[in-house]
Amino acid sequence: MTQLNIPIESTTLPNGLRVVISPDRTAPVATVGVYYNIGFRIEPRGRSGFAHLFEHMMFQGSANAGKMVHIKLINSSGGVLNGSTHYDVTNYYESVPSNALERVLWLEADRMRALKVDDENLRNQRDVVKEEVRVNVLNQPYGGFPWLDLPPIAYRNWSNAHNFYGDFDDLDAATLDDVQKFFKTYYAPSNAVLLILGDVDTDESIQLAERHFASIPSGPQPSPADIDEPPQLGERRGVVEEKFGTLPGVAIGYQSPRRLTPDWHAAAMLDQALHGGRAGRVYRRLVLEQQIAVDAEGGIHYPVGDLFDYNGPTLMVTRILHKPEYSVDQTIAAYDQIIDEMKEKGITAGELEPIKVKFRSNYFSMLEGGHGASIPRYGLMHLLACFSLFDNDPNLVNTILGGFMEVTPEAVQSVAHKLLTHHNRSIAIRQPAKKGAA
Amino acid sequence: MASAPRSESPSAVPPLTPARPVIWPPRVHKTLSNGLEVVLVESHTIPKFTGELFFRSGNAVTAAKAPGLADMTATVARTGTQKRTSREIEEDLRRMGSDLSSGAGADTSVISFAGLVDFSNDLLGLVSELAQQASFPADEFERERRQLIEGLRIERTTPGFLASERLRRVLFGAHPYGTISPTEEQVTGYRIEQLKEYYQHYYRPGNALLVMVGDFAPQTMMAQIEKIFGSWASGAVEPAPDPALPEVQGRRVYLVHLPDSVQTQIVIGNRAITRKHPDWLRLTLANSIYGGAFNSRLVMNIREQKGYTYSPRSGAHPLRQHGYFSIGAAVRNDVVAATLTEIFYEIDRMRSTPVGEEELDDARNYLTGIFSLGLATQDGLAGQLATSTLEKLPDDYLETYRERVLKLTSADVLDAAQKYFDSAHAQIVIVGDRAQIESQAALFGAPEVYDAQGNRI
């Protein structure tokens, strides 16, 4: 049951655009995505937050579809649309009744061909993005904890370490020229993959893709960015003030293995043993048994990504909110006991087998939804895109489970020894602001 | 390749092709002899199934004695049964590749679950055990109580929560719907006997609805369910109280002071209607045009034109006995008054000017289209099924939904806006740093000011 048979057809257009089709005619709806091989990790220096600001600009108008036309055409066709910026990819996607398929492809092709935006659009979206940062980070308890706290502590290469949502000064400094330059550098068809899923015919979809995308001029491949990190030689720690929330927070991140390596498969099982919900060791020990924490969760590339959607340095993160009567050191000591036990005693087959069952079950759910129920097959689209752009093999969707199911208890213990060391980790502490009598 | 029409030129928007029929999959609906209502739908997208066991009672029935008690009962019910400890429950769930959660809102309590179909019998067995034989261990209760109290303290620093809390209090007063969260003192006052009493009284098959969607044969699954749940003893349950609502007169302003806020959370609302009301679809469509979709008027105005906010939205919220309409936006501190002006401008435009044919058509397509998207996943189907069965809507509610939306007219939208977008009596709540926003708020009425604990200041 680890070899799946999801139908996948893929091809590459002469301009370098990869196209992946996965039909499923259960319901009369289609999901379309365009993924660009550019995320916030390698946005330009002095322009923190730019990859995300740029994503907003992609909704501001293209050659034949001016501002608001994208949104209006998709909504009025009965569909929904959005985009999101990740570490290593940026996506644009639509779910629509399948009779709107060609319209969606036309819109995506139009903005891949030519972005048509002005200063007014840029000012407008800069304001919108600042409110996005305020509502998600600056004006929320535990905003950005730990996804914005850990990188500057854990990393030395600016690409991995900077503020991905953007310093406001950097957002203010962004120009229309930056926008067009970024578009030229990273948004060429050869740096992208088009995904068409759901109630579609494979041959017809490929012909539609050719019709709308084949004439987009190819561009040069962006030169590979340096995202390497110097070896970490000791534990790193940092403290960030928590302006609103009442509980102290601790986040611990260990440098994780590269994708698709044997260590990666084993680390995924290790991660589930530690962070697999209420049965996972971290939640069970810290929240349910010792009751030091009121919440504890985590994962590889958590919380703004997952096991499958990174292509560079990342962390296996545990995020803990603990009771104020315990100190940070006591909390970390209790956490370290869990880690030491894993390293010393490892994991039995009796614990690992259920973890594999749960992993497989989670994988199916991710394929079908993965984004609430609002974007059918978002997860399948996301996996196909990452396997295409990072690994050049969308069919991994059907075979990837095998490597996880073969992981042995010995491999889990061995990878625990390798990863879960003090010199391989970084700790971010969220300290509630001292306030006067409340 | 035949069916795709060729667009005339690269600059022309391709037309929609003929739509495939939207067919709601058949469902098997049965009420067992003990009163348990069961609705099943097959969906073979993945080898899993998803389900919800609802009880048609929630926090509203305990509001007078112990607000939030239904939620606490649901939380503790998953921490132990007469046969399993908390740890065994969690490890059994993992062994079955399953997820399970429990909770309660104002009108319902629910155990939600999903898992691999290979383990459906075992998982349903566990759900049945949680529904009938929860043991309410004292130590689990105390742990959950402390976690809830810490959670409440954090909620009181969350602008969105504070805004919703104040709006609901203003719209519904002492009615159970006027309270969305208990106080620390109330939680401290919960006694485990109260949880057990609630559980014994309301977790009954005659008060329950089991909705399941997944990769199974419905008839076989129904037999399995009868075997597992058939012996559950029946019991009568009284409806929730529905005390009088406060009179909401005139446009009023409420300011919740959250020091050091770098943004202001605005929420504006009116009481409205339930999903059973004949105007429900009209209101839904009017909402979609006003602020319920990305391309709605409100989003275009205060986001895409003015850049005041990231995610402004409006919504019609149906509860069982009443409903309300609300508009929300988190905006930068210096445009609070400007945003309120635009929100009311767009409301009054909806109330005074009929919507044109194109905009109407777009909105009808939007509502019928997103309905279709729900059919593509097990969660989507389960959500629609729960909506239609929980409140006992007509049997053909889902089958006829799209055609009923397509029949709505511009006059229907105007009518709904005039009735339910009641700008003259709209209640305005703003949450932020008082010094930065109070003078702006005062332009719309003298604000009543509260602190984050809910005390008048």
- DSSP code string of B413-452: HHHHHHHH--GGG-EEEEEE-HHHHHHHHHTTSPPEEEET
Q: Is B8 on the interface with A (CB under 8 A)?
A: no
Alpha helices in B156-299 (DSSP H): 159-172, 184-189, 192-202, 218-229, 280-287, 297-298
A–B interface: beta-carbon pairs under 8 A: 240
The alpha carbon of residue A336 and the mean position of all alpha carbons in its chain are separated, in whole angstroms, by 27
Domains of chain B (ranges; CATH) run: 27-229 (3.30.830.10), 252-451 (3.30.830.10)
**Considering only residues 35 to 54 of chain B, which have any Cβ-Cβ distance to chain A shorter than 8 Å?**
43-48
The pTM (predicted TM-score) of the whole model is: 0.97
pLDDT for A1 equals: 56
CA distance B203 to A134: 42
Q: Is B214 on the interface with A (CB under 8 A)?
A: no
* Farthest CA pair distance, chain A: 69
Are residues B55 and B109 in contact, defined by beta-carbon separation less than 8 angstroms?
yes
Inter-axis angle of helices A349-368 and A378-391, to 10 degrees? 100
Computed over every residue of chain A, the mean pLDDT equals: 96
Q: Which of B14, B157, B380 sits opposite A102 (nearest CB)?
A: B14
What residue type is A300 in one-letter code? I
Domain extents for chain A? 9-213, 236-432
Task: Extract the tokens encoding B124.
Answer: 């349903």
CA distance A6 to A3: 10
pLDDT for B9 equals: 57
Q: Which of B46, B300, B330 sits opposite A368 (nearest CB)?
A: B46
CA distance A358 to A351: 11
**Considering only residues 70 to 109 of chain B, which have any Cβ-Cβ distance to chain A shorter than 8 Å?**
86-87, 90-91, 93-99
Task: Please name the CATH architecture into which domain A9-213 falls.
Answer: 2-Layer Sandwich (3.30)
Task: Extract the tokens encoding B435.
Answer: 């010094």
pLDDT for A370 equals: 67
pLDDT by residue (tens digit) across A383-397? 999 999 999 999 999
Fold: same for A9-213 and A236-432: yes
CB contact under 8 Å between A204 and B1, yes or no, is yes
How far does A78 lie from chain B, in Å, by closest CA?
4
CA distance B198 to A309: 45
Instruction: Give me Rg for the CA atoms of chain A.
Output: 22
Which class would CATH give A236-432?
A: alpha beta
For A295, the closest chain B residue by CA position comes to B147
CB contact under 8 Å between B303 and A128, yes or no, is yes
Are residues B38 and B386 in contact, defined by beta-carbon separation less than 8 angstroms?
no
Local confidence band at A34 (pLDDT 50, 70, 90 cut-offs): very high
Within 8 A of A120 by CB-CB distance, chain B residues are none
CB contact under 8 Å between B4 and A207, yes or no, is yes
Q: Which of B18, B154, B372 sits opposite A27 (nearest CB)?
A: B372
pLDDT for B443 equals: 97
pLDDT for B240 equals: 86
Local confidence band at A115 (pLDDT 50, 70, 90 cut-offs): very high
CB contact under 8 Å between B97 and A360, yes or no, is yes
pLDDT for B8 equals: 46
Q: Is B370 on the interface with A (CB under 8 A)?
A: yes
pLDDT by residue (tens digit) across A286-319? 999 999 999 999 999 999 999 999 999 999 999 9
Residues of chain A by 3-state class (helix, strand, coil), percent to 5? 45, 20, 35
Are residues A182 and A125 in contact, defined by beta-carbon separation less than 8 angstroms?
no
How far does A230 lie from chain B, in Å, by closest CA?
37
pLDDT mean for each 10 residues of chain B (457 residues): 47 91 93 97 96 97 95 98 98 98 98 98 98 98 98 97 98 97 98 98 97 97 97 87 92 97 98 97 98 97 98 97 98 98 98 98 97 94 94 93 97 98 97 98 97 96
Task: Give, in order, the Cα–Cα distances in Å from B387 to each of A370, B115, B371.
Answer: 22, 22, 12
pLDDT by residue (tens digit) across A130-161? 999 999 999 999 999 999 999 999 999 999 99
Q: Is B250 on the interface with A (CB under 8 A)?
A: no
Residues 6 or more apart in contact with residue B84 via CB below 8 angstroms = B92, B126, B129
pLDDT for A436 equals: 44
pLDDT for A438 equals: 40
The interface pTM score, or ipTM, of the predicted complex is: 0.96
Task: Give, in order, the Cα–Cα distances in Å from A435 to each of A140, A216, A438.
Answer: 17, 58, 7
How far does A181 lie from chain B, in Å, by closest CA?
23
Task: Give, in order, the Cα–Cα distances in Å from B337 to each of A349, B260, B334, B422.
Answer: 62, 19, 8, 19
Task: Give, in order, the Cα–Cα distances in Å from B376 to each of A375, B326, B383.
Answer: 9, 29, 12
For B293, the closest chain A residue by CA position comes to A75
Task: Extract the tokens encoding B214.
Answer: 């997944």
Task: Extract the tokens encoding A428.
Answer: 């971010």
Are residues B279 and B419 in contact, defined by beta-carbon separation less than 8 angstroms?
yes
Are residues B301 and B308 in contact, defined by beta-carbon separation less than 8 angstroms?
no
How far does B3 lie from chain A, in Å, by closest CA?
8
Q: Which of B11, B293, B379 sits opposite A369 (nearest CB)?
A: B379
Helix (H/G/I), strand (E/B), else coil: A213: helix
Strands B208-214 and B37-42: parallel
Place of tokens 């406060």: B246
pLDDT for A371 equals: 65
For A373, the closest chain B residue by CA position comes to B380
CB contact under 8 Å between B147 and A287, yes or no, is yes
Asked whether residue A362 carries a pLDDT value surpassing 50, the answer given is yes
- Which range (A261-275, A360-374, B250-264) has the least confidence? A360-374
Q: In the Cβ-directed half-sphere of B135, how many Cα atoms lie within 13 Å?
A: 13
How far does A287 lie from chain B, in Å, by closest CA?
9
CB contact under 8 Å between A291 and B143, yes or no, is yes
Strands A425-432 and A236-242: parallel
For residue A146, say if its preceding peptide bond is cis, omega within 30 degrees of 0.
yes
Distance between start and end Cα atoms, chain B: 71
User: Can you give the length of chain B in residues?
Assistant: 457
Q: Of all helices (H) and strands (E), which one includes residue A93?
A: strand A90-97
